[in-house]
Structure 1
Amino acid sequence: MAVSTPTPDDIAELLLSCRYGDTEDIQHFITRFGPAPLNDARDDNRNTVLHMVCANGHTDALDLLLPLVAPPLLAAQNAAQSTALHWAALNRHLAVAQRLVRHPGGPGIDLIDLKNGAGRSPLGEAENAGWEEGAKWFVEVMHLDEGAKEDELHPAEGPESIEVEIQDAEGQVAKMTIGQPTPDVMPPSSVTT
């Protein structure tokens, strides 16, 4: 049986079904047209089926779609350069965020580092939305200082001090040195009573 090609109206209906989490209609679309058109379906703002499902927290629809879409769709950016994970973070959908990041064969935790047009990562969106639970989970699973070289971890001041760089959600970087002795403070072993 040959699979037909969806019309623009069919695509619009699919995207609405994803927005509302209507798994029966999504399945009907897949049965009628196959899974391939899922990867190319976009609205006027370049939102994908994953943007629609994830923005609205529809885990059942996400579970239906994830095995059928190409892994690069998980990192697809809309017109504002936001991914489906940005939308899940903005709308505080932890189960959705976890499914996106943990999807086998997908980009994984690299999704957490992608920035949108506003310069925010999904972690930044979670922080911006005041979603502490999601921000905490993102920080727990992401690789911190993964690319740091050994000499960056042990600065020239000596082994008793550590230089730290922290980047906030807006991309601002703060540097500080921890453990560097100050000249006017005597070490505890030198203090006499």
Structure 2
Amino acid sequence: MSPATPTADDIEELLLSCRYGDLEDVQQFADRFGRDPLNDARDGRGNTVLHMAAGNGHTETLEFLLRHVSPALLSAQNDARSTALHWAALNAHLPVAQALVKSPEGPGVDLIDVKNDAGRTPLGEAENVGWEEGAKWFVEVMNLDENTKDEEMQVAEDADKIEVEIQDAEGQVAKMTIGQRAADATPPNPPSAT
């Protein structure tokens, strides 16, 4: 016998239960309706059960949900393309952020690289709200690709010579090199005596 199908009111109640950390109600919903409705539930802005629990810091509810939903739900983005991890970062919930990133079979630290519509990753959101503890943890655990490090080092080495063009109000263009060593610099033309 297949589980019953939840009504719109049942889904709304589930999302509210996740938002307020009503673990017992979430468990009853899961027992009654099964796993699929937990995965499919969304509010009017595309937020999932994980968004609701994570954004409000309900670690116990979140841990229950993580055992009962598809790992793919960890990557689910709402209408603003924010994941549950973005919401945990916005609201400075470190145990929640850690549970999301460390969830078995989930995307893991790759979640830290997901950008929302504002162009921010969860690390960027943590920095934006001044959540230093979370930003520090994200940096400690995130993947720092060796090729990216090498490219950054090369850019830094080449940064000692930057060509700049400046156009004045009359349309005259002046070119200059910033960061050139004094020995390499071409002396400027002396002003003409008039």
Task: Supply the RMSD in Å over aligned alpha carbons.
Answer: 2.2
Higher helix share goes to which structure? 2
| TM-score normalised per structure 2 | 0.78
Residue matched to 1:13? 13
**Residue 172 (structure 2) aligns with:** none
CA deviations 1:72-124 (Å, max 9, x no partner) are 10010001110000000000000000010011100101100000011100000
SS in 1 for 2:16: helix
- Counterparts of 1:48-127 in structure 2, within 5 Å, are 48-127=48-127
Counterpart amino acid of residue 114 in structure 1:
V
Q: How many residues align?
A: 165
CA distance in 2, matches of 1:123, 1:67: 25
Any residues of structure 2 matched to 1:173-188 within 5 Å, and which? 176=159, 182=181
TM-score between both structures, scaled by the size of structure 1: 0.79
- Amino acid of the residue matched to residue 69 of structure 2? V
Task: Report the Cα distance in structure 1 between the residues aligned to 2:152 and 2:20, rounded to whole angstroms.
Answer: 48
Offset, 1:183? 6.0
| Alpha-carbon distance in 1 for matches of 2:153, 2:138 | 26
How many Å apart are 1:182 and its aligned residue? 4.9
Superposition deviation, residue 147 in structure 1 = 4.0
The alpha-carbon deviation at position 24 of structure 1 amounts to 0.3
Provide the rounded CA distance (Å) in 2 between the counterparts of 1:154 and 1:124.
Answer: 22
Unaligned runs of at least 5 residues, structure 2: 161-178, 184-194
The answer for the alignment partner of 2:35 in structure 1 is 35
Q: SS where residue 67 of structure 2 aligns?
A: coil
Moved runs in structure 1, 4+ residues, more than 6 A?
Answer: none
Q: Tell me which amino acid in the other structure corresponds to 2:74.
A: L
CA distance in 1: counterparts of 2:152 and 2:114, whole angstroms: 25
Q: Percent identity?
A: 65
Runs of 5+ consecutive residues of structure 1 not aligned to the other structure: 156-162, 166-174, 185-193
Q: Which amino acid aligns with 2:48?
A: T
Q: Distance in 1 between matches of 2:57 and 2:103?
A: 16
Q: Which has the larger radius of gyration?
A: 2
Q: Which amino acid aligns with 1:84?
A: A
